[in-house]
Amino acid sequence: STAEETATAAASGAAATERFHHDKSPYEAVKDTPKERVDLLAREVLDAIHRTIREHRVTYDEYNALKAWLIQVGQDGEWPLFLDVWVEHVVEDVATAGRRGSKGSIEGPYYVPNAPERGADASLPMRDGEPGTPLLWEGAITSIDGTPLAGTVELWQADADGYYSQFAPGIPEWNLRGTFTTGPDGKFRIRTIQPAPYQIPTDGACGKLIAAAGWHAWRPAHLHVKVTAPGHQELVAQLYFPGDPHNDDDIASAVKPELILAPVVQDDGTARIEYGFELDPQ
């Protein structure tokens, strides 16, 4: 059976929750946060909830529906999805406000570290006959002053059905995930395929909220990258394709005009992209 038939919100949510716990020790980085700051942030968030309840005269039925829904988000493992879709873009904005180099965007829930090393000029790992328009992407990593940088571009993306390896069943472990390492000229050349738009699972708690609110569940097609070079700030970004109907109303609010690519279709049907990364010094 195909991934399409068997992918479930609970399975991809559980994988994303497991991934998050595996990668990071989230409390460690803030263990010395003063009580005053925790008090301020927690109180302001609670105040905002209290205000909404008073202003809109929230009922007990609505309060209990919220309680049941929050429990369901956890049971479906969808806290990483929920937070990255509806909250992370503001954190990213605040965190990168002083940047002079390339624009970034949110990481989202589907990054996996240590993807296979491919060198500077190679294809992403993919299946024989991987469906989708072939892409040829050329670019370089530089510092903001133009100096080429030896570094890495980690690339991860959905396939032409909109599914990510390790978060949907039936896809090889490292499919469409790779690490590209540039030499001193900073240059890379990557072959991949154009991903499909991504739909938030409709059968989980996040899908239930989307349906109940009358929203749509879509992110535009995108490539994810994490770019590093010694002495420079890590850049996490997403790249988008012109003409995608969801570039203007991404459910995750993560599109910026600077991140929309300008592919040129060649005679052999391959779409060629030129896009490089300028990293801010540390």
- Least separation in angstroms between CB 190 and ligand MBD: 18
Binding stretches for Fe ion (CB under 5 A): 108
The residue to which tokens 């491919």 are assigned: 118
**Binding of residue 250 to ligand MBD (CB under 6 A):** no
Record the tokens describing residue 51, joined without a space.
């205000």
Please report whether residue 223 would count as binding ligand MBD according to CB under 6 A.
Answer: no
Binder of ligand MBD out of 198, 240, 275, 277 (CB under 6 A): 198
Which of 123, 108, 84 has the alpha carbon at shortest distance from 237? 108
Told to check if 167 binds ligand MBD by CB under 6 A, we report no
- Verify binding: residue 110, ligand MBD, rule CB under 6 A: yes
CB of 222 to Fe ion, least distance (A): 6
Residue 224 dihedral angles phi and psi, to the nearest 5° = -100, 140
Contacts of 88 (CB under 8 A, 6+ apart): 106, 107, 108, 252, 254
Alpha-carbon span 90 to 202, nearest angstrom: 24
Q: Which of 174, 132, 136, 139 has the alpha carbon at shortest distance from 153?
A: 139
User: Among residues 112, 123, 237, 238, which one has the least CA distance to residue 180?
Assistant: 123
Q: Which does 84 bind (CB under 5 to 8 A by kind): Fe ion, ligand MBD, none?
A: ligand MBD
- Region binding ligand MBD by CB under 6 A among candidate stretches 64-72, 94-102, 106-114, 180-188: 106-114
Q: Which does 106 bind (CB under 5 to 8 A by kind): Fe ion, ligand MBD, none?
A: ligand MBD
Rounded-to-integer distance, Cα 180 and Cα 162, Å = 23
Which H or E element spans position 5? helix 3-6
For residues 12 and 167, give the distance between their C-alpha atoms in angstroms, rounded to a whole number. 5
Q: Does the footprint of ligand MBD cover residue 168 (CB under 6 A)?
A: no
* Residue 108 is a binding residue for ligand MBD (CB under 6 A): yes
Which of ligand MBD, Fe ion, none does residue 78 bind to, with CB < 5 to 8 Å depending on kind? Answer: none
Residue 85 binding partner per list ligand MBD, Fe ion, none, with a CB distance cut-off of 5 to 8 Å that depends on partner kind: ligand MBD
Residues that bind ligand MBD (CB under 6 A): 81, 84-85, 106, 108-110, 198, 219, 252, 254
